[in-house]
């Protein structure tokens, strides 16, 4: 009985002494810097916060069951982990992207999952690589093309021929 109590107290002491990486070395008035804050500052082109670190190894292959559904069917863009991923890469542009995607074409797969849509003078594209869990959202409007996460001009993903042709046609 005494050994059990001693073991429990020892384990409790060890747990209490373990450093917490989120709050280690912070003054009382400081807020911890999160991995999301770091990615936002780095303009990370491969969206690493939304791959393994923030969401574990949550595979995007669950989207196989959504092939043929439009972005509004079954709230496709709100399914997880896609919803969280879109929040991370689009930030304050998320609602704009969702508005453009309301009339989106059904989700298809050609090496990557993809859907595209046009609303008014804007078009939206969503590419998701199920092998690498990398996603890319693109908005094209009167002011040009914007890739999320920011891109150097070339997509790190395979772009299906139909998507590439439409992007080129719409880019001013």
pLDDT, tens digit only, all 172 positions of the chain: 555 554 444 544 544 444 444 444 445 555 554 444 444 444 444 444 444 444 445 688 889 999 999 999 989 999 989 999 999 999 999 999 999 999 999 999 999 999 999 999 999 999 999 888 889 999 999 989 999 988 665 667 899 999 999 999 988 7
Structure tokens at 52: 């393994």
Does the pTM of the predicted model rise above 0.75?
no
Nearest to 42 by CA among 57, 53, 31: 53
Instruction: Identify the pLDDT of residue 114.
Output: 96
Domain ranges in the chain are 31-170
Residue whose tokens read 């923030």:
54
Query: How crowded is residue 89: how many other Cβ atoms within 10 Å of its Cβ?
Result: 22
């Amino acid at each position: 009985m005494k050994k059990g109590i001693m073991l429990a107290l020892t384990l409790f002491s060890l747990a209490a002494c373990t450093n917490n990486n989120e709050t280690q070395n912070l003054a009382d008035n400081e807020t911890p810097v999160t991995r999301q804050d770091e990615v936002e500052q780095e303009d990370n082109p491969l969206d690493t916060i939304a791959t393994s670190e923030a969401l574990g190894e949550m595979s995007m292959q669950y989207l196989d069951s959504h092939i043929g559904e439009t972005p509004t069917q079954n709230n496709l863009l709100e399914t997880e982990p896609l919803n969280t991923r879109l929040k991370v890469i689009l930030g304050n542009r998320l609602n704009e992207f969702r508005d453009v995607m309301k009339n989106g074409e059904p989700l298809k797969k050609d090496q990557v999952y993809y859907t595209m849509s046009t609303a008014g003078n804007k078009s939206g594209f969503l590419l998701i690589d199920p092998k690498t869990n990398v996603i890319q959202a693109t908005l094209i409007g009167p002011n040009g093309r914007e890739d999320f996460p920011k891109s150097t001009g070339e997509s790190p993903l395979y772009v299906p021929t139909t998507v590439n042709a439409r992007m080129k046609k719409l880019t001013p």
